[in-house]
Amino acid sequence: MLEVERLIRSVAATEIMPRFGQLAAADIVEKTGPDNLVTVADRAAESALTAGLTAILPGSVVVGEEAVADDPGVLDALVGDAPAWIVDPIDGTYNYATNNPRFTVLVALAHRGSLLASWTLAPALDMFATAVAGQGAHLDGRPLRVGSAPDDLRHLDVTAPQQKWWTPAQREQFNAMCAHAVSLGFYDTTGLEYVTLAAGRRTAMILTWDFPWDHAAGALLVAEAGGVMIGGDGTPYRPSAGNPLPMIAAPVAASVARLHAALRGERPPASSRAGDG
C-alpha cells in the first residue's frame, strides 16, 4: 500500500501539479465535446503510473482511461487472470483544465473480478483516501464510516451527475424520483464524491455510466466504510464494465432499493428497521 501511495504522490508532484494552472490551449484536447477533455497531464500521469504500477507488481496489467480511449480492447484485461490496476490519471479533467482544485488521481487493484485495494489522491487539496478489502477505509490515516440512512426518502441527501449529462430517459427517471421530495444535488467529480459518501457526509450517490476507472476505487472505499454499491438489477458492483444502470451507492441496501423504485416511478418499499442495518 505504501509503495503505491508513494508512486501516486510522486506522479502527482512531477506530472500533474506543475502543469496545474499552467496549461496552454494546445495542451487541452476535446474528446467528444467541450466538457470531455484530455490534457497533456492526463497522458503523462497515466504513462508514469503504468510504468510504476507494473514494476511494483510484475505480471500485472493496467487498464487506464486514456489507454482504453486509444484501444477499447484494453478493457478485456479486467476479465483476465492477471492482476489489473484500474487507473484514472485525473478524475475531474474539466476542473483541472479550468484551474479548479477539485480533481483526483484514482487507482484500484482488482483480480478476477474482485477489488483488492484502492487509492484516491486529491493533490491540490492534500487529501488521500485508501481502502483494502477486509481491512477498512481511511482518509489521511483516519478511519472512514458511512453515515446513517434515513427511512424516509424526503430525508435522503442524494447526489447525481449534472443535468447536462442526462439523457431524456434519465431525466424522466430523476423527475420521478424528485416527486418523492428527495434532496438532490450534483457532483463534479466521482472521486471526491465517493470520499464524501464514505465519510458519512452524504446518504446516496447515483451513477448513470459505467467506466471502471471512475468507480472502482470509490466503490471499494464505500464498501470498506460500511456501505454498498448496487446496480439497477439489484446486484453488487463489479469492477468490469457491464453493471446495470443506474448504480447507486449508499450506507445500506434498503436505501438503494427505495431509490431504484422511485427512479422507476414505483412506490418505494416500506421501511424496515430490521432490514436496514
Q: What cell was used for 34?
A: 467541450
Q: Name every residue whose Cβ is closer than 8 Å to that of residue 72 and which is 6 or more positions away in sequence.
A: none
pLDDT per position as a tens digit, 168-216? 999 999 999 999 999 999 999 999 999 999 999 999 999 999 999 999 9
d(CA 254, CA 275): 7
Q: What is the pLDDT of residue 277?
A: 42
Read off the pTM.
0.94
* Angle ∠(266,270,248) on CA atoms, nearest 5: 60
Q: What is the pLDDT of residues 45-59, one digit of tens each?
A: 999 999 999 999 999
Residue 30: predicted pLDDT? 87
Tell me: the pLDDT tens digits for 116-148? 999 999 999 999 999 999 999 999 999 999 999
- Using alpha carbons, select from 91, 125, 84 the residue that is nearest to residue 105: 91
Handedness of CA 220, 226, 232, 236 (dihedral sign): positive
212, 220, 221: which is closest to 76 by C-alpha?
212
Query: H helices within 75-167, ranges in order?
Result: 93-97
